[in-house]
């Protein structure tokens, strides 16, 4: 795939992520929750830094099981602060626990997390026709709205830039370059 998006490095793990995951529509609540939390961990860092730690995050945070994470206490925070497999920033460690509470609060209100998040793009992927990396914005009106709504509900590390990166990752926005074979693949996946 010589024509893949220009941001992809030669790192095999990054190539695999780009080719098999990034931009593919995700409709599973727990997977969306995990990806939102992981994107928040990226704040101030490159995505590859988090990508290479994804397995460690799943291990450290009970495979992103909200019922288990919500029970984490200060001892768990201290344990996580010693875990070299994750980013040991106290605010980021605590953010996943806070986000779990916010996620479960939505659920308790009878709000489906999948419908809630996909509602920011009208329930279907926005298919862009990006010609080059310079055409890809850091935010959008949809990510602005998602960020504002999530913050209001108690989520943290969900600024508009993080929300836009999340929307790209989970296929709410197809920002593969039109020259990248994954653009058409993601468009087809969204149609089915």
**pTM of the entire structure?**
0.95
pLDDT tens across 14-45, in order?
999 999 999 999 999 999 999 999 999 999 99
**Alpha-carbon torsion (27, 29, 31, 35), positive or negative:** positive
Average pLDDT over residues 118-135: 92
The residues, ordered by sequence, that sit 6+ positions from 51 with a Cβ below 8 Å of its Cβ are 13, 14, 17
pLDDT tens across 56-115, in order?
999 999 999 999 999 999 999 999 999 999 999 999 999 999 999 999 999 999 999 999
pLDDT tens across 128-173, in order?
999 888 889 999 999 999 999 999 999 999 999 999 999 999 999 9
Decide: 176 and 5 in contact? Cβ < 8 Å. Answer: yes
- Nearest in space to 99 (alpha carbons), one of 117, 124, 126, 122: 117
Residue 192 and residue 187: Cα distance in Å, rounded? 9
pLDDT at 158: 98
Q: What is the CA 7 to chain-centroid distance, rounded?
A: 17
Helix (H) or strand (E) holding 102: helix 90-108
Gyration radius of the chain over CA positions: 16
């Amino acid at each position: 795939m010589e024509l893949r998006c220009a941001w992809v490095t030669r790192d095999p793990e990054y190539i695999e992520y780009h080719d098999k995951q990034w931009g593919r529509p995700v409709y599973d609540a727990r997977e969306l929750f995990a990806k939102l939390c992981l994107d928040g961990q990226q704040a101030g860092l490159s995505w590859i830094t988090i990508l290479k730690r994804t397995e460690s995050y799943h291990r450290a945070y009970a495979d992103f099981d909200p019922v288990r994470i919500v029970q984490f206490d200060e001892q768990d925070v201290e344990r996580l602060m010693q875990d070299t497999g994750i980013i040991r920033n106290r605010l980021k460690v605590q953010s996943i626990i806070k986000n779990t509470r916010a996620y479960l609060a939505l659920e308790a209100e009878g709000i489906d997390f999948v419908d809630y998040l996909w509602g920011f793009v009208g329930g279907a992927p926005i298919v862009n026709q990006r010609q080059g990396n310079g055409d890809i914005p850091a935010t959008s009106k949809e990510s602005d709205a998602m960020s504002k709504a999530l913050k209001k509900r108690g989520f943290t590390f969900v600024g508009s830039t993080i929300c836009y990166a999340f929307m790209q990752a989970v296929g709410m926005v197809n920002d593969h370059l039109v020259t990248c074979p994954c653009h058409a693949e993601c468009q087809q996946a969204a149609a089915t």
